[in-house]
Amino acid sequence: MRRSGAVRAARRDFLLSLGCDAMQGYLFARPMPAAELERDVLAGSAS
């Protein structure tokens, strides 16, 4: 299961308890342009 909208740790924990294996949301990183994400990942500093 994949889910968008993990904004708080409690939501992340709930989704994990349901078997969610991938999620995204402000808990992990703010929205950003693809070029910025690529730059950060290549630099090893994705937030």
Q: Is 22 helix (H, G, I), strand (E, B) or coil?
A: strand
What's at 9, amino acid-wise?
A
Taking only Cα atoms into account, the Rg of the chain, rounded to an integer number of angstroms, comes to 12
Per residue of the chain (47 residues), give pLDDT as tens. 887 888 899 999 999 999 998 998 889 888 999 999 899 889 986 55
pLDDT at 45: 67
